[in-house]
Amino acid sequence: MVGTLEKDAREEVLQAWYMDDSNEDQRLPHHREPKQFVSLEQLAKLGVLSWRLDADKYETDEELKKIREERGYSYIDFCEVCPEKLPNYEEKIKNFFEEHLHTDEEIRYCLAGSGYFDVRNHNDEWIRVWVKKGGMIVLPAGIYHRFTLDTDNYIKAMRLFVGDPIWTPFNRPHDHLPARKEYLQSFGTTQAGDHAVDTTA
């Protein structure tokens, strides 16, 4: 177990917190009052994995190579999300922010800029995960989630995939999909269980 004095290096590029219920601009932080942060260990209990890597040397990074080999991420490409680079920007951003799931993992490695990946916990609360340059995040198949930029309006990310990429989003509700059922079986489904996790984290 990591001691309280030993800071997790990932926390410099990945932070998470419970979101408020405000309908204000989706690009704002949306902290609760008072702020309630979520540890990376708690995220892992939801199946959300994370790493801190050196984004300036992604082409030769042995750690990235090792992760790709261990997890079978054979495919990569790059995407830039900003008003200047993304065609139909406003429409795309709205689509990204629709709550959805995928039947495969969603893997994103932030090479520049930053953005928010929002995920649902077992009590159906939103947890906002802020990913900055050097942060790599894996959302498991079957988790309900969404994405938005923050107020800097820019992210450049590497997208990774096992085999040929399938980007199909299934907007909520799609609870009947095998990927959703498998996610709930793997990472727990009961509200009481989630509270038990929170209090012992």
Q: According to the annotation, is 31 in a ligand binding site?
A: no
Task: Provide the b/e sequence for 44-75 (b: ≥16 CB within 10 Å).
Answer: ebbbbbbbbbebeebeebeebeebbeeeebee
Q: According to the annotation, is 69 in a ligand binding site?
A: no
Q: According to the annotation, is 145 in a ligand binding site?
A: yes
Q: How far is CA 83 from the centre of its chain?
A: 21
Residue with tokens 């932080």: 29
Q: According to the annotation, is 106 in a ligand binding site?
A: yes
Question: Of 149, 155, 138, 125, which Cα lies nearest the Cα of 38?
Answer: 125
- Contact between 158 and 111 (Cβ < 8 Å): yes
Binding site listing = 100, 102, 106, 145
Which residues make up each annotated binding site for Fe(2+)? Answer: 100, 102, 106, 145
Please enumerate, by residue number, every residue annotated as part of a binding site for Ni(2+): 100, 102, 106, 145
